[in-house]
Amino acid sequence: DIPVYPKDEEKPVVENAEGLNVLGIIVFCIALGISLSQLGAEADVMIQFFAIMDKVIMKLVMTVMWYSPFGIMCLIMGKILEIHDLADTARMLAMYMVTVLTGLAVHSLISLPLLFFLSTKKNPFTFMRGLLQAWITALGTASSSATLPITYNCLEENLGVDRRVTRFVLPVGATINMVRPSE
């Protein structure tokens, strides 16, 4: 028997999605890095170019981070001025904050440390203490990309993670694993 499907049934269509192809860029960059490493001395100029660009971009990000609190304050003040019933809005916001913070506390203080301990047999709170500066920066900026320079420093200087590992894993993690409770 050959199954017969109704003609009006929807069929999957492959088409381009709107937005930036981040995964494609990551795959291209990994392939470019592998190719450059295989070229040896011939690729030194290109490698130096990317090393300098890395420093320039990190400097720009740090500059933006210094001025962002003022801009964020202006945005928040504009929204506060638009609110009609401030007390009711504050009450609803407080309940939402309690709910989110409880969930995040359980996740970050119980689930993740337990997973870290089971997989490494090391004290997760020592590891967390080494990342404290990055967490504070992430809390202030709400941006994993803006926090990257601080996270590099915490992992490499405080926790002794190899620079090659951090320079590969952090940008990929910041791009792919964008878990945002605000969305």
In this predicted structure, what is the pLDDT of residue 3? 66
**DSSP 8-state class, residue 41:** G
Instruction: Identify whether 33 is part of a domain.
Output: yes
Instruction: Identify whether 17 is part of a domain.
Output: no
Instruction: Identify whether 18 is part of a domain.
Output: no
Which regions in the chain score pLDDT beneath 50? 181-183
**Is 110 in the same domain as 132?**
no
**Is 138 in the same domain as 174?**
yes
**Is 114 in the same domain as 131?**
no
**Is 113 in the same domain as 127?**
no
In this predicted structure, what is the pLDDT of residue 183? 41
**Is 112 in the same domain as 147?**
no
In this predicted structure, what is the pLDDT of residue 94? 96
- The two three-digit tokens of residue 4, written as one number: 């017969």
Quick check: 154 and 127 in contact, CB under 8 A?
Answer: no
- The two three-digit tokens of residue 122, written as one number: 């090391």
In this predicted structure, what is the pLDDT of residue 20? 80
Among 72, 99, 120, identify where a domain stops: 120
In this predicted structure, what is the pLDDT of residue 139? 86
**Is 134 in the same domain as 147?**
yes
Instruction: Identify whether 61 is part of a domain.
Output: no
Instruction: Identify whether 133 is part of a domain.
Output: yes
**Is 114 in the same domain as 132?**
no
For residue range 44-66, list pLDDT tens digits in order: 999 999 999 999 999 999 999 89
Its domain, for residue 110, covers 84-120
In this predicted structure, what is the pLDDT of residue 14? 65
Query: How many domains is the chain partitioned into structurally?
Result: 3
- The two three-digit tokens of residue 146, written as one number: 């803006």
Among 102, 120, 138, identify where a domain stops: 120
Give the angle 121-162-59 at the CA atoms, nearest 5°. 125
In this predicted structure, what is the pLDDT of residue 178? 61
In this predicted structure, what is the pLDDT of residue 19? 77
**Distance, CA of 148 to CA of 167 (rounded, Å):** 10
